[in-house]
Structures are given as C-alpha cells and as structure tokens.
Amino acid sequence: MLSRTPIASAKKKIKRRQSTWQRIIVVFIKILISPLVLLADSFRRKGILDNSWLYAFFLFTTVVMGLTGMGILLNDIPLFKTLRMISTQIESREILAGDLRPIIKTINKYALQFNVDPNLIYAVIKSESNFQTMVISRSGARGLMQLMPEVWREYNPKSGCNGNHKDRRVCKEGDCIFDPDANIRTGVNYLRDLLDRYQGRVDLALEAYNAGIGNVRPGMAPKYRETRHYIQQTLSSWQDLRKFTIDQQLKLSIQLQLGLKWLFGLTFFCWVVLFWWANRKLFRK
C-alpha cells in the first residue's frame, strides 16, 4: 500500500492538471464563440441565455478593445514622429521667416480655384521669393510669386498699382502687386495658363515663368543657367512636397491623432466601468 501511494498521488496531480487545462481550453473556446452565441440567441423568442455566455462576450469585447487600442498606439508612434518632424522642418524660422499660415491658406484657396497642385505653387514661391512679400528682384519681379509688372497689368487690367512702391498702404485693399492674396491669385492664374500653353509640361511652364515665354525653346536646354538652376530646384522641391501635406494639414493630422487617442481612452474607460458594473450586478449572485 505504501509503495502505491506516490503513484496514486502522481496520477491525481496529472488528472488535476488535465482538468485545469481542459477548463482553460473550454473557457477560451467559449470566449471566442460567445459573439456567435449571443447573435444566435437574439433570434430566440423564448428562453434566457446563461449569464456565463454574456460574461464571456463582455470579456471577449474588452480584450479586443484593449488589443485594438494597443495596436493603434504602437502603430501610430512612427507616423506621429514623422508628422511632427515634417511640421517642424516646414516651420523652421531659419528657412522661412514669418507666420506662413495665412499664405498657405491662400495657396490652397487658389490652387483649388485654378486647378493647380498646391505643392507646385508652394515650391514656386519658395524658389522665387522664399516667402518674402515685399521683395523686388534685379529684373523687377515683385512679391511672393515674383510677378513682372506687365504680367500684373495683363491679369489685372483695372488695377491702379504700378509696383513702384514698397508700402501696400498706398494702394487700395486687394489691389497691390505686393498684396499676398492678389499676388498669389495672379501668379497661380498665370501659372495655370502656362501649363495649358505647354500641354501640362511643368518644366516648360516653369521655364516660361522664370525666363519669359519668348525664351522657351521646347526640345532644347533652357537658355539661361539661372533658369536651369531654378527649374531643377523647383522641381526637386515640388517632388519632395508631393509626398507630404504642408503645414495646416500636418497640424490638423497631428491634432486628429491626439484627439483619437483621447477619444479611445474615454471610450475604453466607459466600457471598463460598464464591465465592472455588469460583473458586480449581473454575474455575481
């Protein structure tokens, strides 16, 4: 009898382990199929579903929400860092001076109106004036988009502005070649016409914008070295910007990301409260 006791106790331990694992497997399967059971039960006219199934469903939903939240947070970290990095670079005061938000809003407005890629407009302004509103080039081009006075008069025939001043207050509001809104509107309109003239060839449109239509020679290299550098620089900036969204859209995206996290946290907190209430009031008798 004494020799059989260790064997019998070992068998009991094995049975207990087996029964424990069996219970765990049964509970796991029950949790997995609980949504289907509740869905099927919703079509039953009579009978009350056992509370264990309802508890399994609550547990299943809570675990899924928790895993989903963790996935969102972990997956969002690289995107959030990238958006913050791009936004910081665009706002860098070492590259661009002043508050660009009004200018970017104006770019987006006229990009939609004239059906021009806003990133291309942004790249043109960056190359032309680096977002300086009152700059005048050696050739006489003026403002953000470096408009020549003759181009300004062509697109604004009723304008009283001749561009021979550096104070916008001498002109009527909205009728000045240095006014950001009017300058961008005219420049985008002119750029749209150049794109149409050259069948969408951005390189030729930029060449004409910088050197003048009379100096464009399709099929040949740009006439001036400065123009060649300008086209290369603008196209490079445009290609880079097309991969991202600029300033306001980046900030909006970052705010939405933060708002989503807070919203999920609030939703999950409410769900935990509901789960705790159900556990206390429904499942414990």
Contact between 39 and 238 under an 8 Å Cβ cutoff? The reply is no
CA distance 123 to 233: 9
Contact between 120 and 237 under an 8 Å Cβ cutoff? The reply is no
What positions carry a catalytic annotation? 128
CA distance 107 to 120: 10
Token pair of 186, please? 């005219």
- The continuous run of DSSP H or E covering 253 comes out as helix 248-281
CA distance 50 to 271: 21
3-state secondary structure of 92: coil
CA distance 274 to 189: 58
